[in-house]
Structure 1
Amino acid sequence: MKAQISIIMPVINEAAQLADKLQALQALRTRCELLLVDGGSSDASPAIAKPLVDLVLPSQRGRARQMNLGAEHAQAEVLLFLHADTRLPERAAELIMSAVAQGAAWGRFDVQFDSPQAIFKLIAYLMNARSRLTGIATGDQAIFITRQAFRAVGGFPQIALMEDIAISAALKKIGKPCCLKAEVVTAARRWQQHGILRTILLMWCLRLRYFFGAHPDELAARYYRRL
């Protein structure tokens, strides 16, 4: 039976948590294929993934480049781009296929964080509300796209940062996103490691600069320098 959804996961040096994350996806393999695209890990990520996915693809580093490579090798007509630190909700595949059957060319899930702190509930609420208002999805929300729509916009632009915002803007010209209320759970570790307020302010600053035309390479340099 041909897979209905190709789940594409870009990774680099995720060995510490990768086995658990991939084990959680095994039940979906009756209707989904799993593709892991490794961006040059120096740890055991590819070896850990090999028995737990349908295909491990070596790639140059860069999330957009990795996801585009995964899409090139995907067999299904629906592509789901999943970060390694994001966990899908129950019935994720059914929800996606139902949305597509009703005419959605693309969409995303609501998001919550794996932390009980109230600040993370607020951040998630604001992320979801902003996404509904603007029609822009973030990678943390597990973006799904039909193959036809993905080809129509030329895939993810080969930029160092903001590739999720850029492809959302392109996809909006095809149709509004399907904003599924079911929640993916994403890791709060980045925010906790680097400071919650500091990370919020940095991301706001980067998004604003991108909106006003700053080059993604410049933004990426600032992002990785600050973190």
Structure 2
Amino acid sequence: MRLSIIIPVLNETDTIGTLLADLAPLRAAGAEVILADGGSNDGTPQRAAALVDRVLQAPKGRAVQMNAGAKAAAGDVFWFLHADTRVPAEAAAALQAACAAGARWGRFDVRLSGRHPLLRLVERGMNIRSRLTGIATGDQGIFVTRAAFEQVGGFPELALMEDITLSAALRHLAPPACLRLALVASSRRWEAQGVLRTILLMWRLRLGYALGADPVRLAHRYDRARSRYAGRRSAAGSGDAAGAR
């Protein structure tokens, strides 16, 4: 089965080269790599162009971008990866073996890149919860056969939680293949916003979604929280600079 790797991006020029270097051997072996850009203005598509099979322009929104990539893909299996992910060399073989054994969809374990002790608890909790519930997040490198993806209608084009909702739909078709091999996800956002603060925020968002909150409102809440923290960091930085002068 041919593999199509779909990467949604928005201003990822600092990170995309590392992932594409990881994927270069897979592309040389016949995998298709598609970059679905949501309107980058930092040169991400130009930097990636020589290292992918196709660069698509799509409206901003991770779900919309991934659906556009899937629509253009030629493969029998879609593998959705975030731009700041690191992929071990044996990951594609593990994915293909799972599909050859009959898996209709699945995900990998995840390891966060940072060293903060709380990140070890976060990644362990993500992997255990996913294995128990059959729900995967985008950081876990969701893969799905074309037939199963089309049967559930692709990603719901939500502002947030599109990965959770897709997993729930796929779970009704078949249980996921939960591969213990770990992808490495960047912990930059966890560390930038504060690990504990981010844990609490994500749990509030997930609880709100489970209770029926509008994903658009949840996305706005997430963006406001990030903006408030960025503002505090900026103010603190200005104060430190003034003191130094």
TM-score over 0.5 (shorter chain): yes
Query: Where does 1:73-84 land on structure 2 (aligned, <5 Å)?
Result: 73-84=72-83
Shift of 1:40: 0.3
Count of aligned residue pairs for this structure pair: 225
State the 4+ residue runs in structure 1 displaced beyond 2 angstroms: none
2:67 is equivalent to residue 68 of structure 1: yes
Q: Percent identity?
A: 53
Q: Counterparts of 2:86 and 2:216 in 1: how far apart (Å)?
A: 29
- For the residue of structure 1 that corresponds to 2:173, the secondary structure is coil
Q: Counterparts of 1:101 and 1:31 in 2: how far apart (Å)?
A: 17
State whether residues 19 and 87 of structure 2, in contact with CA within 8 Å, keep that contact through their aligned partners in structure 1. Answer: no
Query: Paired residue for 1:39?
Result: 38
Shift of 1:31: 2.9
Q: From 6, 13, 21, give the equivalent of 2:11.
A: 13
What amino acid sits opposite 2:2 in the alignment?
Q
Q: Counterparts of 2:90 and 2:22 in 1: how far apart (Å)?
A: 13
Q: From 20, 23, 34, give the equivalent of 1:22.
A: 20
Whichever of the two has the greater Rg, that structure is 2
Q: Counterparts of 1:18 and 1:88 in 2: how far apart (Å)?
A: 12
- For the residue of structure 2 that corresponds to 1:145, the secondary structure is strand
2:163 is equivalent to residue 164 of structure 1: yes
TM-score by length of 1: 0.97
Query: Paired residue for 1:149?
Result: 148
- For the residue of structure 2 that corresponds to 1:16, the secondary structure is coil
Query: Paired residue for 1:187?
Result: 186
Shift of 1:172: 0.5
TM-score by length of 2: 0.90
What value does the CA root-mean-square deviation take over the aligned residues? 0.9
What amino acid sits opposite 1:18 in the alignment?
I
Query: Where does 1:67-216 land on structure 2 (aligned, <5 Å)?
Result: 67-216=66-215
What are the ranges of 5 or more consecutive residues in structure 1 without an aligned counterpart? none
State whether residues 86 and 184 of structure 2, in contact with CA within 8 Å, keep that contact through their aligned partners in structure 1. Answer: yes
Tell which deviates more after alignment, 62-71 or 107-116: 107-116
State whether residues 111 and 182 of structure 2, in contact with CA within 8 Å, keep that contact through their aligned partners in structure 1. Answer: yes
Tell which deviates more after alignment, 14-23 or 212-221: 14-23
